[in-house]
Amino acid sequence: MTVPHPATTRPRGGLALRLTEGLPDRLPRLQEIYQDLHRHPELAFQETRTAAIVAAELRALGWETTEGVGTTGVVGVLRSGAPGEGPVVLLRADMDGLPVTEATGLPYASTDTAVGRDGEPTPVMHACGHDLHVACLLGVVEQLARHRDAWRGTVVAVFQPAEETGEGAQAMTGDGFLDRFPRPDVCLGQHVGPFPVGMAVTRPGVIMSASSSHRVRLFGRGGHGSSPESAVDPVVMAAATVLRLRRSSPGRYPPRRRRCSPWARSTPVRPRTSSRTRPN
């Protein structure tokens, strides 16, 4: 006769209380980690400082820790119970910031800069909550490690780089992620949102928006300003295109609505010509 382990028979509410024991006492330190990460954001594939903090925390808690997965990704593995007992659960948080100037006025606001892909210096900010995602997952891995007797299975904690550029997950899988680490039965992600503190929101199917990028070049016909009828001004074409794309839906529908939402982001228009001519 097989006797179930107490961790698998404990009522769900009791298990949740067990796994959150001691959490209030650890929140101040998690807040310090969050504020430190917010103060020092890093761009995609440049998350070396963040990755080092994550790896140090994982190792201190007894997780099998691998750095440099997909360039700057970090993976931690923690097992409880006999080999093969319980599910494999993947928990994921993203780490990178954005090339944005912070103007929040927070005492821990970022003043850091980095070199962007264009080779130019740029301010950096955690404007999408990845600092909080990392801090939250670090809190989870600590609770799981300290209450290892309360659960059975394998947890794979993934700290992913380059989410903002859409390249981080592909870089990690291209680095052999699925062969090097336990294959998950379920993957759980998280994202902050405009909800009251303490509220968790979910739904079947799609819950958050995504984006893809396409680069479009518009070609006009150059000419002299004295004969505008003989030219086709690409600057005017670009302005009209942006306005028409903008009117098609963004700003009128929330991201949770399933629909195609085209929008345009333009770089500064620099025709590189004189004020008396029209560019091509």
Using one digit for the tens of pLDDT, what is the confidence trace for 51-68? 999 999 999 999 999 999
| Separation between Cα atoms, residue 71 and residue 67, nearest integer Å | 8
**So what's the pLDDT on residue 7?**
47
pLDDT score of 168 more than 80: yes
Residues 6+ away with beta carbon under 8 Å from 256: 206, 207, 208, 209
| Separation between Cα atoms, residue 155 and residue 152, nearest integer Å | 9
| Separation between Cα atoms, residue 120 and residue 8, nearest integer Å | 54
* Between 264 and 31, residue with greater pLDDT: 31
Which of 46, 55, 35, 51 is CA-nearest to residue 104?
Answer: 35
Pairing of strands 88-94, 186-188: parallel
Contact 96, 43 (CB under 8 A): yes
Q: What one-character DSSP code corresponds to residue 6?
A: H
Instruction: Kindly indicate the confidence band of residue 4, based on its pLDDT and cuts at 50, 70 and 90.
Output: very low
Enzyme catalytic residues: 96, 163
Enter the tokens of residue 38.
Answer: 């917010």
- Angle at 273 (CA atoms; ends 267, 274), nearest 5 degrees: 130
| Separation between Cα atoms, residue 132 and residue 97, nearest integer Å | 11
* Between 153 and 17, residue with greater pLDDT: 153
Task: Tell me the three-class secondary structure of 89-135, residue by residue.
Answer: EEEEEECCCECCCCCCCCCCCCCCEEECCCCCEEECECCCCHHHHHH
Which of 48, 23, 50 is CA-nearest to residue 39?
Answer: 50
Q: Lowest-pLDDT range, 41-55, 148-162, 245-259? A: 245-259
Enter the tokens of residue 231.
Answer: 């030219």
pLDDT score of 142 more than 80: yes
Domains and CATH numbers, the chain: 20-188 (3.40.630.10), 223-278 (no CATH)
**So what's the pLDDT on residue 263?**
54
* Between 243 and 157, residue with greater pLDDT: 157
pLDDT in tens, 76-123: 999 999 988 999 999 999 999 999 999 999 999 999 999 999 999 999
pLDDT score of 157 more than 80: yes
**So what's the pLDDT on residue 12?**
58
pLDDT in tens, 79-89: 999 988 999 99
What would the mean pLDDT of 258-273 be, rounded to a whole number?
Answer: 54
**So what's the pLDDT on residue 205?**
80
- Angle at 221 (CA atoms; ends 219, 225), nearest 5 degrees: 130
